[in-house]
């Protein structure tokens, strides 16, 4: 299983939010410095979220993200504010290895197929943000249907991987809920990366044993609740 530290960017700074709320942001500084720090410690890649994009200003951090992609020479997956096929294609052409489409994929599912046909399914990840088993979109405000049904549909459309975020526990540093994760892993065959609530080595071990392909570490990593080195050791251990 792979570990991806989150580098969430808001107004050019690396931040962590609680429950996706902008007013609950903790600022950590230069995103490039943090990305390099995590890579120096052995991270498998970097999970970048363009929060300004998610809040409606898609191009605000574009130059910074391009620098991150070109200067780190590591695997980068990017989400946040990707609202069209052109947005996604632009990031892939700019050097991002994998784009994450969420609200766009719900609104226009055929975008998933189009991106997979043009760039290859391995570069297309669909974000499944769920609360209580329902996909939520538009800033986690609007329910959009059963998360398992959507996951199956996105797999059939050619998504190479899924990013599952349990909104109920995201940012709270209280641990994961393994039940919906196991249900998702049982329904799809594409790799699933898990985000939200991962706060301990026990969480990482549970995800690895369940068969998750990767885990995104965010708030708990930045607060020091979990160290990257111990998460990496747990993720790469043999079952």
Ordered alpha helix ranges (H), 6-56:
31-40, 51-54
| Residue from 52, 87, 129, 203 carrying the catalytic annotation | 129
Query: Rounded to a whole number, what is the largest CA-CA distance in the chain?
Result: 43
Q: What are phi and psi of 67, to 5 degrees?
A: -65, -45
Examine the residue annotation and report whether 44 is marked as an active-site residue of this protein: no
| Residue from 8, 44, 52, 203 carrying the catalytic annotation | 8
β-bridge partners, 34: none
Whether the CB-CB separation of 160 and 121 falls below 8 Å is answered with yes
- CB proximity list for 127: less than 8 A, separation 6 or greater: 79, 100, 101, 102, 105, 162, 163, 165
Which of the residues are catalytic? 8, 129
């Amino acid at each position: 299983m792979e570990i991806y530290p989150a580098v969430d960017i808001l107004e050019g700074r690396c931040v962590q939010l609680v429950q996706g709320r902008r007013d609950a942001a903790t600022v950590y500084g230069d995103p490039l410095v943090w990305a390099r720090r995590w890579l120096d410690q052995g991270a498998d890649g970097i999970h970048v979220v363009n929060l300004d994009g998610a809040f409606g200003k898609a191009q605000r951090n574009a130059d910074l993200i391009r620098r991150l992609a070109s200067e780190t020479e590591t695997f980068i997956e990017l989400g946040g504010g990707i609202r069209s096929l052109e947005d996604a294609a632009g990031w892939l052409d700019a050097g991002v290895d994998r784009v994450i489409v969420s609200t766009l994929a719900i609104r226009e599912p055929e975008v998933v197929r189009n991106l997979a046909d043009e760039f290859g399914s391995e570069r297309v990840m669909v974000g499944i943000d769920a609360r209580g088993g329902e996909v939520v979109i538009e800033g986690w405000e609007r329910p959009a249907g059963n998360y398992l049904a959507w996951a199956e549909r996105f797999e059939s459309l050619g998504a190479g991987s899924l990013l599952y975020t349990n909104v109920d526990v995201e940012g709270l540093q209280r641990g994961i809920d393994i039940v919906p994760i196991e249900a998702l892993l049982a329904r799809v065959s594409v790799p699933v990366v898990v985000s939200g609530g991962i706060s301990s080595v026990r969480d990482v071990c549970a995800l690895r044993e369940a068969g998750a392909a990767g885990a995104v570490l965010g708030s708990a990593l930045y607060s020091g609740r979990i160290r990257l080195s111990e998460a990496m050791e747990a993720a790469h251990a043999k079952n």
